[in-house]
Structures are given as C-alpha cells and as structure tokens.
Structure 1
C-alpha cells in the first residue's frame, strides 16, 4: 500500500481556497460520490431514498458517482454514463471479487463490524485483493478530480480510499460515511489489519456514523489501535492528522410512503410483517422462534395471526448465507407443521424481493411491523413502516434494541432479539394494544421520521465535510447552520 501523505503537507496544498469553497453554504465544485454499487442517472427514479438523495446532490453540482460495475472481467473495463450527473464504474478482476469483495469486505469486515467474530474468515490473501480494487478506484479518481471538487466515500468497501487518494496527491475535502455499525474496540482489534484501517480513517476530513454508540466505539477503537487522542475541540488526532467523527443518522423520505388511500387490513387475520435482506445479522431465526413462542404461550392468537416474512436473497455465493436460508426454511416448516391447519398457515416466508412501489401498501396491511436485527447500522425498514401507517389507525412497530434506529425511535416496542420470550411478549402487547396508545406511539415516531428527509441528510453532511476540511487546512470557518 502507498504510504500516507502527511497531513501537514496536505494542509499547505489545499486544492481549494476558502473564498472559492463556499457560496451560500454550498460548494462551487462538483461532488464525487464513491460507493460499491452505483446508480445511473436513468435508474434513480426507481431507486430507494438514499440513492435519490445522493443523485439529487450530484445533479445540483454536475457530479460523478463512481464504484463497481457489478461485472467481473480481467480486462478491468471502465464504463461512463452521462446524464444529469455522470456515473463511472470499474469492473473487478476475478481475484478482486473473490478475495476483496466476497472475502475481505463480506467475510471479514461485515461480520467483524456486526460483532460476529465467529463468522469471520481471516484469510491473509483477502486484504491484498481488497487493497487492489480500491487502489484502482483511487487512480481513476485522481485523474478526474478537479481543484474545487468534494469527495464523499461510502461504506466498508472503501475504508482505505481516502488514504490512497492522499498518497496520490489529492488534497480536496474527502469524507467517509459508514452505513453499518462501528464495532466495539474488542472486535475491531481482532482484525489483523486494525492499525492500517485506523490510520486510513485519519486520512478523511470527516467520518460519519449512524449513532452516538457508533461514535463512542470509533473513538475507543482509534485510541486503542492507533493511539488516537480526543482533542478539546471534539476532533481526533492520530500521528498529527486531525479529523472529525460525527453522528449523522440516515433517514428516509417519509412523503414517499404516506398513505394514499384507505388502509386495507383483513378483518379476520392480522398480519405481523418482516421485510429484511436474507442475512445472519437480521435476527430472522430469532424472529421465527419468537412468533412460535407466541403461538405456544397464547393459543388464542392461532388462526387469527400470521407472520409474513419477506427475505430478499443476498450474497448467495457466500456459504453462510446459504446456511441461514436453509435454517429459515427448516424453522418455518417446523412451525407450520406444528401449528398450521388446512385453512391457516402461521408463517408466510417469501425468499425474494418485493418491488419498492409495493412496499407502502404491504406495510399498511400489517398490524405489526416486526424488525429484530441482532445488530444493524440503522434499519430504514423501521422508518418506512412507520411512515406508511394511517395516523388514525396505525400499526405497532416492534424493534430490536440493537438496531441503530432504536436510538431515535424510543416510542417503538423495543425488544432483545436474543430472547424469544421478549419477542413473544412484545407481540402479545402489540396485538392487543388499544387504539389510543397506538396513535400516541405513532405520533411520537413520526415526529422523528418526518423531521428530516434524505436530501437534507445528504446536503447537511456535505456542508459539514466542507467545513471540517477548511478547519484542517487552517482556513476561515464559515457558519453552515
């Protein structure tokens, strides 16, 4: 890996003067977003809220969205698609895909950052492949970047990218946002490359995290891994490099899920709904067992309640994901066999994605939204479920205490997903909750969900990044409130 460019050198060679950097609180240059998967200008109309937020920010300044093409090719082709913004994608080599994407990103960083060390595969060959694709991305960005551009890197696939860009002489503001949880120091230190990763974070001007707990974990990790110091200003110093870590919880566009018509719910059978990716972090076996415990402990819910679980497949080529699918099929079959009848099936398990445009109606049809991740960065499904409800007859949100959303959504019924009795009892409470309490809880939750939209989240982060970069370079600080 190329050596890190010292912060002192970067501070003297800022790519943008303070007078040029901001006009009315916004950058004059382009925004360059980097993420594993990329939306093209044509795709954003059918994409989720985060994609819409990033594309909106890019459209405002004619920016670039860069990342992996989704293709594997030893020719490492580059694809460019122009529109309101420009998407630039690189192919991965087979070695980068196997070792970097499936290996280091999804078999090392993903389980470790979700505190599942037991599922991590610490293969020493993975890290070189992870470095390789990120380095090629840095090469291409360094050739395209202009003096006034701001670079915003997303998620665990590109932790090294800021440091790689600095090593290539890129002095522009560079921010990083981690969408998944920041692990506690004890888990982070299990990574053989923990010092390298910690030093790489110090190359960013601003590191954004989902929750206050994540910020606390990040400070603890950097203290123990790299001797990081928390300064009186709230910034962190590592080997002379100073940067900011901030809480910036991702949100949704609540208006996209607002009820457009009457709520249609069955008069005879109430639906408990789960919508998740098929992933071992989502607590799906615990959810199924918790629902089974409800039927066991409270027989009057039999034939009057169903659990509908949408579990969109993901990373099928990673062995542990095949294991979780097989486990869920076994549990649902056992529960349906034990409690089902010819006219009632307790668990409706669907192993495919549901089109986004159908989600709102699906959320509204459910008397209970059941979201039980063992660990989650945020979990936007919880917010989407709340935003979809009829405020005069809302459903009840049951949410894992270990989802990032729980920090904001205290009016949900919070549960311990490791305890099936906790899930069962919360379901019993939710299914018998009086209308007045449901309305009060929903009003409190909507006060959180509706307070900000995804475009506000994106623009606020970019402004904070630009401000942090000016501080790092010794320029005047302009209020961005």
Structure 2
C-alpha cells in the first residue's frame, strides 16, 4: 500500500498529552493510525527569518510529523486575514464582515507555494496525498506545477457556499479553477456538493465534488464519558446542580456557532415556561479562539453582556440560570459533562458538520439518555433527524424545544437516542477516512 501524506494548515504536536479535539484532527488521527504516514503543515510557531528553514521532522510510531514555521506577516495576512478573516466568514455566508485585500491574497498564495516547496522533497513517487481545508485551496495546483503526479485528494471541513455568495470573492473563479487540480474533492453534505458543483458549472469547469460526512470515535468518547463521571470536576459540577436539570452547550468562540441566538432562546424559554425557573442550569463552555480578530472580540463582549443580563434578570440568591465559561476544559472532562447533562443545545447558524452533537449522543447513558436539540443548519442535521431540530434564528423555536426536551418521557428519550446512537456508530471517523481514501485510490491520477 502507498504511503499516506496528510497536509493540513496546522499539525498537532504528537508529544502533547492533550490533543486538539476538532473534526480534522480526530478524523486524520484515525487515518494515519497504524500505517506509514507523513503529516505535513504549520508548526504553530512564528519567527522573523524563515529563508533557510527546513521542515522539522519528528517520528512517532508509524507517523512522521513534518512542520514549518511562518513569519509574523504570513501569520497575519495568510492565517488571520485571508483564511480566517475572509474565507471562513464567506463559507459561513457572513459576507457582511469580510474584507478583501490583494496583499492578503498574495501572501495566501505565497504560503501555499511555500508549503509545496517544502513538501515536494519529502514525497515519494507512489504517495497518496490528502490535503485538508480552506487554508490550502491552491496547494494541489501548486504541487502539480512542481511536477507531482501522485493522486491528490482534498477535503473541506467547513461549508461551501453557493455561487451567489462565492462570487463576492474577487478571486473566486481562480480558486475554483485551482481546485480542479485535485483527483477527488470531498465536502461534508449533499448541500455542499450542490453548491460547489454549481460553482464549477457556472465557471465552465468540468469537475464535481462528493460528500463524505465526518464522524467521531464513539466508542472511545463513550469510554471517556463513563470514566470521567467520577472525576473531581464532574462530581463537583453534579453536586453543585443540587438536583437541577443540566443543559449543556460546548462551542469554540465563533459567530457561526449561534451562541447569542442560543442565549436569547434560553431567555425566552425562562419567560415562556416559568415552571422551569430555578430548576435548570445552562452550562455554556466557550473557549476563546482567534482573539486577535475584531469580530471575535465583539462577540465575546456581546456574550459577556448577555450572560450577565440573563443572570441579573432571572437569577436569585442561590441560582444562576447561566454558567458561562471562556476557558477550555480537557476533552475527557467534557465527555463527563456530556454524560450527566439532560439536554445538549447545539444551535450553529451554519456548520460544516458539528461533532459536539455526535459526542453528546455517544456519551449518554443508554438507560437514561438526555435529549439533543440541534440546528437544522448544522451539517449533522440530515444524519440526525431524531434530534429536536430548530431554527437557530427563532428564539421561540429554541424555547419550545427546550421545554419539550425537559418534559420528554423516558420512553421517548430512549427511542430517539437509540436511533441517533445507531447513526453515530455507523458513520465514524474511521469510516469517513477509509471511504474517502478508498475512493481516492480508485481514481485515475491526472496526466
């Protein structure tokens, strides 16, 4: 079997005990586990001079991790401005906050060229190359220009917008043309396939995408959840509830996650269904990310104010309706929090997939499972129809779903959970990577 070469913007340190829990890392970790692989990307470090740098190589088990650094300007223009300040909001349909700069685009392309320059010497003739996410749209074309004939696949972990949104980007047609250098293009949902294929057609490009919905390792997460129930942090949380129902939200700080809309829906719930006042607690865990981007700073201020307002207006001396945390928690502790929660509130305004919904289902006690409330704008929604699906822009819809979830009979909770659990265990991270790579290896490499 050929060696697998994975390329992502960021490569997690293989020697850190606490690994990132994002979908890309979880999925790729399963893909490279137990097979000879090379994982290439940015180290996460910045330095002033990279003119003479060579990839830093670190082999752990069967995987060689190869990383390079960025300059401060590359970090700002490639990572913060173009990738996260423009492509991320564009793909999440937030065109009102994007800012296009030709200088940022130039550095975006320069970094992709730099990735290609450093990767090519590490490649073997029979490698299978798998490139991930929006940071690296042009990398396949850059590798082709350097003579790489190997099979190259690309997977986009975030949504892909329709042409009516994508055309806002001045270089949209060029980026789409560069995507045709890939032998296989994967996206999360059938809607993303329709959007991307429509863009290809409008631009006169003979290319198509395929959907490969990403999953989790449900057995591993369930085991963590069971073990963590006895962890001091989880026991303290449970004791502090004093018999109250726990509603949990776990999201990275991002405007795509619909957290302000969630808070508004929760306040409407408290007003519309006063019988639940004093009987429920919403625990919102929201680690801060991209702290240097202005829109994220504004979002944090908005959430601080909303949480304070709701607690001031509805709480009393021995009950705060919202517990709002901006520091991260270890993955195994979050698994324990999920297991003791009665309701998960997952309300993204737009999401490639959303693995938190799947993790909540995996973590539940089959004898007394909680209820999942899920935005139908999440990529996971088509796979999880037995969740209580809501429109995240409709605060009353969220409020009604919270009441329904908290009032649901044990029999109905078990019925819904069994169907959802079957879905989660059928489509795992391992199945996702195997399906994509099998299809990539069966394609004919480009001439």
* TM score, norm. by length of structure 1: 0.86
Query: Could you say which residue in structure 1 is the equivalent of 2:2?
Result: 29
* The one of 109, 115, 131 aligned to 2:93: 115
Q: Deviations 1:199-224 (Å, cap 9, x if unpaired)?
A: 01100000000001110111111122
Instruction: Show structure 2 runs of 5+ residues with no match.
Output: none
1:253 aligns with 2:217: yes
1:194 aligns with 2:160: no
Does the 8 Å contact 2:18/2:330 carry over to 1?
A: no
Shift of 1:169: 0.6
Q: Distance in 2 between matches of 1:402 and 1:185?
A: 18
Shift of 1:350: 0.2
Pair 1:420–1:59, CA change in 2 (3 A): closer
SS of structure 2 residue aligned to 1:448: helix
SS of structure 1 residue aligned to 2:209: strand
SS of structure 2 residue aligned to 1:29: coil
Shift of 1:94: 1.7
Query: Could you say which residue in structure 2 is the equivalent of 1:168?
Result: 146
Shift of 1:329: 0.4
Query: Could you say which residue in structure 1 is the equivalent of 2:65?
Result: 87
**Superposition RMSD in Å:** 1.7
Does the 8 Å contact 1:30/1:58 carry over to 2?
A: no
Does the 8 Å contact 1:41/1:86 carry over to 2?
A: no
Q: Distance in 2 between matches of 1:419 and 1:83?
A: 48
Pair 1:44–1:142, CA change in 2 (3 A): farther
Query: Could you say which residue in structure 1 is the equivalent of 2:45?
Result: 71
Instruction: Show structure 1 runs of 5+ residues with no match.
Output: 1-27, 229-236, 238-242, 474-481
Query: Could you say which residue in structure 2 is the equivalent of 1:399?
Result: 374
Question: What is the count of residue pairs matched by the alignment?
Answer: 431
Does the 8 Å contact 1:40/1:86 carry over to 2?
A: no
Query: Could you say which residue in structure 2 is the equivalent of 1:310?
Result: 285
Pairwise mapping of residues 414-453 of structure 1 onto structure 2 (< 5 A)? 414-453=389-428
Give structure 1 regions of 4+ aligned residues with deviation exceeding 6 angstroms.
261-264
Shift of 1:422: 0.7
Pair 1:427–1:59, CA change in 2 (3 A): closer
Query: Could you say which residue in structure 1 is the equivalent of 2:197?
Result: 219
Shift of 1:42: 2.8
Q: Deviations 1:213-266 (Å, cap 9, x if unpaired)?
A: 110111111122x213xxxxxxxx1xxxxx551110010011122253779865
Q: Distance in 2 between matches of 1:131 and 1:44?
A: 33
Query: Could you say which residue in structure 2 is the equivalent of 1:153?
Result: 131
Does the 8 Å contact 1:373/1:403 carry over to 2?
A: yes
Shift of 1:51: 2.9
Q: Distance in 1 between matches of 2:420 and 2:444?
A: 35
Query: Could you say which residue in structure 1 is the equivalent of 2:12?
Result: 39
SS of structure 2 residue aligned to 1:215: helix
* The one of 176, 181, 187 aligned to 1:209: 187
1:134 aligns with 2:108: no
Query: Could you say which residue in structure 2 is the equivalent of 1:359?
Result: 334
Q: Deviations 1:398-424 (Å, cap 9, x if unpaired)?
A: 000100000100100000001111110
Shift of 1:96: 1.1
SS of structure 2 residue aligned to 1:39: coil
Q: Deviations 1:319-347 (Å, cap 9, x if unpaired)?
A: 11000000000011111110111100011
Q: Distance in 1 between matches of 2:7 and 2:436?
A: 15
Q: Distance in 2 between matches of 1:56 and 1:330?
A: 40
**Mean CA deviation greater in 56-65 or 99-108:** 56-65
Pair 1:251–1:175, CA change in 2 (3 A): same
Shift of 1:74: 2.8
SS of structure 1 residue aligned to 2:418: helix
Q: Distance in 1 between matches of 2:186 and 2:209?
A: 6
Q: Distance in 2 between matches of 1:339 and 1:52?
A: 39
Shift of 1:53: 4.2
Q: Distance in 2 between matches of 1:53 and 1:109?
A: 22
Q: Distance in 2 between matches of 1:287 and 1:37?
A: 30
* TM score, norm. by length of structure 2: 0.93
